[in-house]
Structures are given as C-alpha cells and as structure tokens.
Structure 1
Amino acid sequence: MISDSRFPIPHSQPFSWPTRVYWEDTDAGGVVYHAQYLAFLERARTEWLRALGHGQELLRGSHDLVFAVRAMRIDFRKPARLDDALQVSVALRECRRASLVIDQAIERDGERLLDAEVRVAALDAGRFRPRAIPAALYRELQPLQVRPA
C-alpha cells in the first residue's frame, strides 16, 4: 500500500483521485469532450486498485486477472472546462465473486459534474473469459463495500 501522504488512503470511502483538464481533453470551445470523462473515470479506478496494492499489471501478471467494463450508466450534470481541477471518486458498492459495481463521481470545487455507475467483470487475462476474483483480493474488497444512502 502507498504510504506517501500525497495519495488518498484507499480504505477510506470514497477514494478520490485529482486530475486537471488539459487542452487535449476539450473540444474547440474549451469544454471537456464527453468521451474524455470515461478516461478520467478509468484512471481513478486504476489508481484505487494501485493504492490497494493491486496494480493492474500485477493482477494480470501474477493472477492472470483483468477487469473489463461490462456496463456503465453516466449522468452528465454540468460541463468541466479547460484548466479545471477535478476530483474523481471511486466507491465500491458491490463485490461479487466475478464482478464489481463501482459508484463514481467527478466534482469541481465540491460541485458535482457527473455521476457514474460502472460494472466491471473479472476476466481471465489470457482468454478474456469470466473468472472468479482471487480469494485474497475478494476478502480485501468485501469490507470496502459502501451501500448507497
């Protein structure tokens, strides 16, 4: 686990990852292009796993495991713009034997810009077939589940 105080504590919920909007993230009007929000969400999920000590390369190499997005529901509330400092949160809602349901949000200065529900499937990295989450990881994720209010 990362002990550097610059990084969020992964066992606190929700986990939050900072990012900034760059020119490459926006359209000609300086507004974040809708598909770029998917990259922001993906990076936060990746950093959440890394902060738990389970980087995606380690999961693939050591456990033959990858997580793949199965479904996503997004509610775009307000636009992000060039140079905005954003916080992208990750909260584990459900941990099943072979999948996760993750609630995510993007905020700017405490203002909610986007809500997302992301369902990810655990897959065998070599064959891309569904598989169980390794028992040790499953036991670690179980207590991190947060039920919606």
Structure 2
Amino acid sequence: MTLALEFGHVEPIAVYFDDLDAMGIVHNARYAVLLERAVAPYWTARGHYFDHNGPSTPDLVHAVREFSITYLRPIRGAGEVHVHFWLNHMGQTSAEYGFQFLSADRQTCFAEGRRAIVRLDPATLRPTAWTESAREVGESLLKP
C-alpha cells in the first residue's frame, strides 16, 4: 500500500554510487546531502536559489541548528529515492523541517527525522527575520 502524503512535497532524487558505503548501502553521513538535493529544487522553482551571482534572496543565508534522523531500513544500491519533506514550524527567524526517505513506490520508509535551520544576517551572522517571499514558500510546506 502506498503511503498517503497529504502535506509537504515529495521530490524524487538520485542516489549515486559515491553515496554508498563499503557494504553497498547509503552511508549514514550522506542523508543530510540527499535531503539538500531534495529541498533545493523546491525552493529554486520558487525563486530562492544560488547561482554565479550568489544567493537570489537573503533567506538563503541560513545555518542548520539541528539535524536528527532515525534509520529504519538501509537504502541498498544506487537508484531513485523519494524524499517527503514539510515544515513543522516556521518562526520569526527559524524553521523546522520534517522529512522521510521513501522507496520510489512509496511503500517503504527508510529513514525519518527533522532539521532545524536559522536565518542569519549575512553581515553579523546573527539570527534575523525571514522575508515575506520565504514565508510564502514556507507556508506552502507547513504541516496542518
């Protein structure tokens, strides 16, 4: 039975050979990179991206405050994985993602977790408020 996804977004991503460890499963440290591969296209399609000119919006200057993951089953070999992600919360200066790594048929959940980020002022590296543009995109990801 396919998992019903009623909020957030699902992004198919590629798992490459260099994401694997010596046993042929996705290395634990690669999950954060795989999550970035899934989240970045969503924001890019909505005007928030990096290119040769730097960040398109100041909201891209942020740092991960916390990353927590529970590994449920190994992802074996290269291929396609689906990443379901959403926002649990979007505060004044921070946001908290929830995420799941799913099989391409969405019948298996390999891992799940959360990632908290804080928007930073580029000059001071102190927390600063999200722009309206980021809030609009964030609201489209909020879990009801």
TM (norm. structure 1) is 0.79
1:112 aligned onto 2:122:
no
How far apart are the structure 1 equivalents of 2:77 and 2:136?
Answer: 40
CA drift at 1:59? 8.0
Distance 1:31 1:135, change over 3 A: same
Identify the match of residue 94 of structure 2 among 99, 116, 123: 99
Which runs of 4 or more aligned residues in structure 1 lie more than 4 Å from their structure 2 counterparts after TM superposition? Answer: 56-59
Identify the match of residue 47 of structure 1 among 14, 31, 41: 41
How far apart are the structure 2 equivalents of 1:124 and 1:134?
Answer: 12
- Partner amino acid, structure 2, of 1:106: F
SS in 2 for 1:129: coil
What are the superposed Cα offsets for residues 41-93 of structure 1, whole Å, 9 maximum, x if unpaired?
12212222112222245883543751211011111000001123200121111
Q: Which has the higher contact order (CA 8 A, sep 6+)?
A: 2
5+ residue gaps, structure 1, are: 1-11
What are the superposed Cα offsets for residues 99-147 of structure 1, whole Å, 9 maximum, x if unpaired?
1111111011321001011101001223322111113322442354113
How far apart are the structure 1 equivalents of 2:62 and 2:40?
Answer: 10
CA contact (8 A) 2:93 2:129 kept: yes
1:38 aligned onto 2:20:
no
Across the aligned residues of Structure 1 and Structure 2, the Cα RMSD in angstroms comes to 2.3
SS in 2 for 1:35: helix
1:82 is aligned to 77
2:142 is aligned to 145
How far apart are the structure 1 equivalents of 2:100 and 2:87?
Answer: 12
How far apart are the structure 2 equivalents of 1:20 and 1:64?
Answer: 26
Percentage identity across paired residues of the two chains? 26
1:136 aligned onto 2:130:
no
TM (norm. structure 2) is 0.81
Distance 1:29 1:62, change over 3 A: closer
5+ residue gaps, structure 2, are: 1-5
